[in-house]
Amino acid sequence: MRTMTIKELFDVGVSFESSVGEGTRSERDRIPKNYSRINLPDEMILNISEINKEINFLISGEIWCPDYQLNATVLKKFTELNSKFNISVISMARGKKFLAPLLGLEDPKWPIITVLDKDFNILGIFNERPKPVRAFSNFDDIKLDYYKGKYLLDAAYEFLEMINKAK
């Protein structure tokens, strides 16, 4: 069976904008709506903008997925705050075939977002939803709030925690 390295997967991926462009009008329309709901504290904005390290985000996901629409949009915001941050998006199929085994994920949920340093060493893995959302025993209890973007800041803090592991 053919394998791929994380760098090879990153290199064959597409930009966030290209991945969004593959969606239906309704799916594409959710991105600016979600983006407008990302209200990062000033301190976080400053922190992100001052990180002087190349960070790569390898995302395995697709535009039709609400979790992708929400959480990948947070990373789009990060790349606008810091030009040393890069996004590459691969399909869920490629993620299932190549990325999940590389990461040792037996039952992955999408999107899988792998935070990488400049040398493509893994700094952290974000799987589907932010930790506070996954901690709820019954997702239905918070589903509406989640889809309205009330947990976008949690995703941002989780990504920043991974980024801060870079040397």
What does the chain come to in residues? 167
User: In 3-state terms, what secondary structure has residue 29?
Assistant: helix
19/62 Cα distance (integer angstroms): 7
pLDDT digits (tens, 9 = 90+) for 72-86: 999 999 999 999 999
- For the entire predicted model, the pTM comes to 0.96
152/136 Cα distance (integer angstroms): 16
User: Average of pLDDT values for 26-39?
Assistant: 97
44/76 Cα distance (integer angstroms): 15
In the block, tokens 């709030």 appear at: 145
